[in-house]
Structure 1
Amino acid sequence: MSYYGLSVLLGAASYGVLSAFAVNAYDKGYSLGEVVGTQLILGSLLCWGWVLLRKMVRTRRLKGDPAKLAADKAAHALTWKMRGTLLACGLPTMFTSLLYNEALHHISASLAIILMFQFTWIGVLIESAMTRRKPGAIVYVTLAVLLGGTALAAGLTEKGIGEFSRFGLILGLLSAVSYSLFILVSGKAVVAAPPAARTAWMTTGSMIGVLLIHPPVHLFNGNVTVELLGYALALGLFGSFIPPVLFAIGVPRIGNGMAGILGSVELPVAVAVSAIVLREKISLLQWGGVAIVLIGVAIPELSRRLARERTGMTASGNG
Structure 2
Amino acid sequence: MNQLRYSLFVLLGACSYGLHSSLVKLTTNAGYQAEQATGAQYFFGLLLLLVVVLFTKRVKLNMKQIGSLLGLGILLSLTGVFYATSIEQLSASMAIVLLFQFTWIGIVIESIYLRTFPSNLKLISIVFLWGGTLLAGGLVSGHMDWMSETKGLVFGFLAAVTFALFIFFSGKAGKGVPTIQRSLIITAGGFLTVLLFVPPTFIVDGTLTGGLWKYGLLVGLFGVVLPVILFAIGTPHIDSGTATIVGAAELPAAILSAMLILGEQITPEQATGVLLILIGIVVPQWRSKKATHPKKVYMN
Normalised by the length of structure 1, the TM-score is 0.77
RMSD between aligned residues: 3.4
CA distance in 2, matches of 1:208, 1:113: 25
Are the counterparts in 1 of residues 245 and 280 from structure 2 also a CA contact under 8 Å?
no
Greater Cα offset, 175-184 or 116-125? 116-125
Tell me what 2:297 maps to. Answer: 316
- The question of 1:217 aligning with 2:225 is answered no
Q: Deviations over 1:38-79 (max 9, x none)?
A: 210110111121111214xxxxxxxxxxxxxxxxx7xx1112
Residue 161 of structure 1: SS of its match in structure 2? Answer: coil
The one-letter code matched in structure 1 to 2:51 is G
**Pairing partner for 2:29 from 24, 27, 30:** 27
Give the counterpart of 2:55 among 46, 53, 56. Answer: 53
Matches of 1:317 and 1:155, distance apart in 2:
53
C-alpha deviation, 1:168, in angstroms = 5.1
User: In the alignment, is residue 95 of structure 1 matched against residue 97 of structure 2?
Assistant: no
CA shift, 1:128, in A, is 2.0
Which residue of the partner structure matches residue 206 of structure 1? 190
Q: Deviations over 1:200-257 (max 9, x none)?
A: 00100000011123231333344434322222111101121123334555x3898569
Cα gap change, 1:174 to 1:205, in 2 (>3 Å): same
Unaligned segments of structure 2, at least 5 residues: none
Structure 2 counterparts to residues 46-125 of structure 1, below 5 A: 46-55=48-57, 76-105=59-88, 115-125=98-108
Q: Give 1:134's aligned residue.
A: 117
Q: Alignment partner for residue 151 of structure 1, among 113, 116, 134?
A: 134
Partners of 1:133 and 1:263 in 2: CA distance: 22
Would you say how many aligned residue pairs link Structure 1 and Structure 2?
A: 295
Q: Distance in 2 between matches of 1:83 and 1:141?
A: 37
Q: Could you tell me how far 1:301 is from its partner in structure 2?
A: 2.2
Closer, same or farther: CA 303–206 of 1 in aligned 2, 3 Å: same
Query: 1:68 matched to which residue of 2?
Result: none
One-letter amino acid matched to 2:271: W
Identity of aligned residues (%): 38
Query: How high is the TM-score relative to the length of structure 2?
Result: 0.81
Unmatched segments (≥5 aa) in structure 1: 56-72
Query: Would the aligned equivalents of 1:32 and 1:102 in 2 still touch at CA under 8 Å?
Result: no
Greater C-alpha Rg: 1
1:96 alignment partner AA: T
Alpha-carbon distance in structure 2 between the residues aligned to 1:253 and 1:132: 19
Deviation, structure 1 residue 186: 2.0
**Contact 2:164 2:244 (C-alpha < 8 Å) held by counterparts:** no
- The separation in 2 between residues aligned to 1:175 and 1:25, in whole angstroms, is 22
**Could you tell me whether the CA contact under 8 Å between 1:106 and 1:165 is conserved in 2?**
no
Larger deviation, residues 11-20 vs 43-52: 11-20
SS in structure 2 opposite 1:157?
Answer: coil
| Displacement of 1:304 | 4.1
Match status 1:189 vs 2:173: yes
Do the aligned residues in 1 keep the contact of 2:72 with 2:186 (CA within 8 Å)?
A: yes
- Code of the residue aligned with 2:131 in structure 1: it is G
